[in-house]
Amino acid sequence: MPHVSLNPTTNQVIQTHASWDAHRLAQALEKAHSAQQIWAQTPFALRAEVLRDAAIQLRAQHDQYATLMTLEMGKPLREARAEVEKCAGVCDYYAQHAEDFMRAEPVESDAGKSYVAYYPLGVVLAVMPWNFPFWQVFRAAVPALMAGNALVLKHASNVPQCALAIEAIFRDSGLMKGLFTTLMIEVDQVADAIASPHVHAVTLTGSEAAGRKVAACAGQHLKKCVLELGGSDPFIVLHDADLELTVNMAVASRFLNCGQSCIAAKRFVVVPQIADEFLRQFKIKVEALKLGDPMDDATQIGPMARLDLRESLHSQITDSIAQGAVAVTGCKPVEREGFFYQPSILDRITAKTRAYHEELFGPVAIVIRAASEQDALRIANETRFGLGSSIWSKDVARAEQLAAHIQAGCTFINGMVKSDPRLPFGGVKASGFGRELSKLGMHEFVNAKTVWIR
C-alpha cells in the first residue's frame, strides 16, 4: 500500500509514495550499518557541526516545514512553527552537551583505575507517530546520532512528506549518507527491520498496542528498546488552586494539537470545594476556542488527523454519555468539510463510564469529581497508564508531597506537562519504559562499558 498524504482539512489527497520492497529495505539497513562504523569514529566537534547546521536550516525555513505539518496532519500553523523551533532547540542542546554526556566516568574500585566508558550501539530503528511529525523524530534522532549511532526512521504512513523533509534536512546539513534514512515501509515490515542483523535497537512512540508488538519482537531478537506509549494524564485541581492560572493551563494542556498528544491533560480530577467553579470557568474558555482552517493564524483548533480517529473518539463519547456522563459542551463532530470535532467537556465521569478507563485522543476533556484530596490521588493512579501528571495548588510543599505518590514518569506542579531536552521524558506502567531526552535519554542507546585496570 502507498503512503498517502491526505489533507485532513479538505479530505483531499496531496501526494502518494510507493512502499519499499524487502530488497530495498535490506539495502538501506546495510548502508546505515556501514555509515555508522565511520560515524562512530567521528569527533564530537564534527557531529555537533552537523546539528548546528540542521538548526540553522530549520529556523531559516520554518514556514515551509510548518506548512508541511499543517497540510499533512492538520496542526494549527502557529503550533507547527513552534514545533519547528523546538526541533532546532534540541539540535542546539545536544550539539553543546553531548560530548560531556558521553565522557567516561571514573569509578572507585579495587582496581588501580576503573571507569565507565560510553560507546554507540549501532543502528537504531525509530518508529514514530504522526501527531508531532517533526518533534517526535528529532527528539529521538538527535541524541542517538550525537552518541555515534545511525538512525533509520519508519514514520507514520500519513506524514510521508514530513519524513522525507527531515531526511533532507540532515542530508543538507552534511550528515553522511545512510546515517539518517526514511524507510518507506509498511507496518508489517517493521518486524523484518528489527530482525535485521544491521539493526541494534528500536525506539517507538505510539499506541499501547503497537508498543506491545514492538517490545515482543525486540525481545525475541534480544535488542534494546525504548517505548513511549499512550497516556491518560491526571490534572489534579486542589481546593486552593489559582483558578485563573489553572483554567487557562487546563485549556492549553488539553486542546493543544487538537488534543492529540500523549502528554495532554486527559483527566481533570477536581476536589469538591472547587469543582463547580472550575467547571464553570473551564466551559467558558473551551467554548471560546476558535475552530477553523489551521492555515489561519487565528485558529486554535484544527481538524483531527484522520476520519477513523474522529469516529473512534465519538464512539467513546457516546458510550460514556449512555453510561451516565454529562455532555457539558460540544461532544459532536462538526458538520463541515474535513475531520473537525467540537472542543468538548464531559462531566460526571465515573468508573462505570468508558472514558474513565480509556485514553481519549482528541479535543475532549473529562471531569472526574473526587470526594477529597486523597480520593483525587487514588483516582489519579487508577489507570493502567503512567506518563505525565500535574497538580495545581498554592501550597507547593503539600503538592510536592502528593507528587511523590503519583505513578507517572513526571509530575508538574502548577505547570503544563511538556517535554524539554534538559529533562528525561518517559512513562511507567502501560505508558512504556525507558527515557528520551537529557543525559538519560542519550544513554539509552549506548554500551556502558566497564574498564578495569590493575
Residues noted as catalytic: 228, 262
- C-alpha closest to that of 151 among 50, 45, 79: 50
DSSP-derived 3-state class of residue 60: helix
- Rounded to whole angstroms, the Cα distance separating 256 from 246 reads 15
Phi, psi for 343 (deg, rounded to 5): -60, 125
- Rounded to whole angstroms, the Cα distance separating 245 from 251 reads 10
Phi, psi for 354 (deg, rounded to 5): -60, -40
The upper half-sphere exposure of residue 403, i.e. CA atoms within 13 Å in the direction of its Cβ, equals 19
Task: Pick left, alpha or beta for residue 4 (phi over 0 → left; psi -120 to 50 → alpha; otherwise beta).
Answer: beta
Cell numbers found for residue 229: 506509549
- Rounded to whole angstroms, the Cα distance separating 58 from 85 reads 7
Three-point CA angle 213, 359, 443, nearest 5°: 50
Q: Which helix (H) or strand (E) holds 249?
A: helix 243-255
Pairing of strands 224-228, 150-154: unpaired
End-to-end CA distance of the chain: 59
Burial of 408 (0-12, 13-18, 19+ CB in 10 A): buried
Three-point CA angle 269, 270, 271, nearest 5°: 130
Q: Tell me the H-state helices in 275-425.
A: 275-287, 307-322, 354-357, 373-381, 396-403
Q: What is the CA radius of gyration of the chain?
A: 22
